[in-house]
Amino acid sequence: MASQPPALDILVREPDGFSVWSGPPYPTGSAPPVRLPKTACSATYFSRDGSRLLATVASASATVYDCRTLSVVRLFELPGLLAAALSPAGTFLQTFQKSSSPQEKNVTVWHVDTATALYQHYQKNMSKATWPMVQFSADESVACRMMTNEIQFFDPKDFTKGFVYKIRMPGIAAMQLASAPGSHVAGFVPEAKLVFRSFLVTRMHRVKLLHGSTGLLVLAQADVDKTNQSYYGETKLNYLTTDRAFEGIVPLIMPARATIFNKKCNPLLELGEGPYNTIRWNPKGRWFGNLPGDMAFWDYSEKKLVGKTKAECSVTSEWSPDGRHFMTATTAPRLQIDNGIKIFDHNGSLQFKKMFEKLYQADWKPEAPEKFGDIADLTTSLGSIKIEEMKKQAQGSKSAQTSSKVPANIAAKPTAYRPPHAKNSADVQDKLFGGLASTGGEMSKNALRNKKRREKQKEKKAGEGSGAPADDN
C-alpha cells in the first residue's frame, strides 16, 4: 500500500508575527485552518528539506521549530543577532552577531539539538552574496566557507578539526557549493575566471550548480557591450558541464525571449518575445510564464497550454511541492498596498484569495516532490501549440513590423506616458498564449517610435557604408 503523501503547509508573515496554515484545497468560503497561531518574529526561514523552521527576533533570539509538530526544538538567546540560517536538513544553525573587535568571534555554527557551538570565526561584515558564510551540501556531508583567496572545507561530523583541505583561488569574491551531491564547488573571480572558463569582463554574476552536479549555469554581466547593441552593457547566460564535455552561451537581449533549451543549448520551444520576468518549473515538470499580471500554465511534456489567468502586482510566485497549486503573493516593502495571497489550481483556476493590510512573506513548506503522485488530469488540455507554429507566429510578427516602414525624415510626436505593463501588451499576450488571448491589432505608439528610430539608424549606417547619403524616401 502506497504511503500517504505529506500535508501541505503555508507560512504567512505579517508585521506582528508569523503563522502557519494548512495548505489547500479549502472548502468554498472557508478560511484556511491555522496550525500555528501568530507568533512574534522579525524573519522566518524553512530548512531546505522542510523538516524545521527558523524564526528570529532581531538583536535578540532565534527559535527552531519541528515542522511536523510545530513544537519548539531549541531557543537560542543571541544578543546583537543580525542574521541566521539553517543547514539543509536543519541539523545546524548558523548565526551572525554584532562584534566590537576581531577577537570577538561573531559567526557561530551551532548544533541545534544540543545547542552546542561547534565552530566560530570573526567576520567584519556580511552581504546577501556571502551569507551564509558556511555552506552545506543537501545531505550535510560537505561544508565549506570562502576566505581571502581560497575556499576552505570542513568535516561536518567534527568541526573541531578546523578546515581539512582548501582550494586556492586568488581574488575570489563568491562561491557556490553543489547541493546534491556536494561533489563540486564554483568560485567567482570578478573580471577574471569562473571555475575553468573565462567569461566576460564581469562585474556582476549569478551562479547555479545544477541538480546532480552535472552542470553549471552562470549569468554574467559586463558594463560595456562591445557589439554596441545595448546601452546597459552585455549580459550572457553560460552553461558548462562539470566534465568539460560541453559549453554553451546564450546572449540575453531585449526584448526578452522565452525559450526552452536542451542540455546542448539547442532550442526546444520558442514562445516569442515580450517583457517576460518569471518562469517557474512545476515539480512535476510543467512550467509557468509570467507577464505583467498575466500568467500562462503549460504542460511542457505535451507542449500544451492548459490555462491562463491574471495575478496583478505579484512580488513572489511558487508552485506547491505536489505540483497541484500555484501561489502568488503581493508583499511589502516592495508594494505597500493591495497586499495579499492568491492560490491557483495547476490549470490557472483561482482557488483561494486573501487580502492583508500588510504582508511580508508567504511560503510553501518545502517537501520532496517524489513524495507526491503525478497530476493525472493535466493531460486534458485547453489547446495545443506546436513548436513550428510558434516559430511561424514569431516570424510573422517580425515581418509585419518591418514591412510598415515610415519615412525617416518624419519626427516622432511626443506621446503620453504609458506604464511598462501597457506597452505592446496585446502583441505580447498573443505570443505567450499562442493566439488564445485577444489581440489589439496595432503597435503601441512607443513601440512604433522605437521602430522608427531603429530604421533611421540602419539607413544612416547603410548610407555611410556605401559613401552615399541615406535615402529619405
Transcribe 38-93 into DSSP letters.
EE--SEEEE-TTSSEEEEEETTTEEEEEETTTTEEEEEEE-TTEEEEEE-TTSSEE
Which residues neighbour 58 within 8 Å (Cβ) at sequence distance 6 or greater?
42, 43, 81, 82
pLDDT for residue 378: 41
| 155 C-beta neighbours (distance < 10 Å), count | 15
Give me 244's grid cell: 568539460
Residue 295 near residue 309, CB atoms below 8 Å: yes
| Residue spans per domain, the chain | 133-252, 258-373
Q: What is the pLDDT along the chain (473 residues), one digit of tens a residue?
A: 457 889 999 999 999 999 999 999 998 888 999 999 999 999 999 999 999 999 999 999 999 999 999 999 999 999 999 999 999 999 999 999 998 888 899 999 999 999 999 999 999 888 887 899 999 999 999 999 999 999 999 999 999 999 999 999 998 888 889 888 888 888 888 765 444 444 444 455 567 766 666 778 877 777 666 666 666 677 777 787 777 666 666 666 666 677 777 777 788 877 666 656 677 888 866 665 555 577 777 777 777 777 778 888 889 999 999 989 999 999 999 999 999 999 998 878 899 999 999 999 999 999 998 888 776 544 333 333 333 334 444 455 444 444 444 343 434 444 554 544 444 544 444 443 433 333 334 455 666 777 777 788 777 777 766 554 444 44
Residue from 50, 64, 73 nearest 94 by CA: 64
Q: State if pTM tops 0.85.
A: no
Q: Are strands 340-345 and 234-241 parallel, antiparallel or unpaired?
A: unpaired
The alpha-helical segments, DSSP class H, found in 355-441 are 387-403, 425-432
End-to-end Cα, the chain, rounded Å: 77
Residue 134 near residue 154, CB atoms below 8 Å: yes
pLDDT for residue 410: 37
* Residue 422 three-state SS: helix
pLDDT for residue 432: 39
The side-by-side arrangement of strands in the sheet containing 278-281 is: 278-281, 287-290, 294-299, 304-310, 383-384
What residues does 61 pair with on adjacent strands? 57, 77
User: 71-110 burial, b for 16+ CB within 10 Å, e for fewer?
Assistant: eebbebebeebbbbbbbbbbbbbbbbbebeeeeeebbbbb
Give me 437's grid cell: 488571448
Q: In which residue are the cell numbers 562584534 written?
A: 99
Residue from 470, 95, 431, 42 nearest 271 by CA: 431
Eight-class DSSP state of 294: E
Calpha distance 42→62 (Å, rounded): 10
| 3 C-beta neighbours (distance < 10 Å), count | 6
Residue 383 near residue 363, CB atoms below 8 Å: no
Residue 425 near residue 418, CB atoms below 8 Å: no
* Residue 409 three-state SS: coil
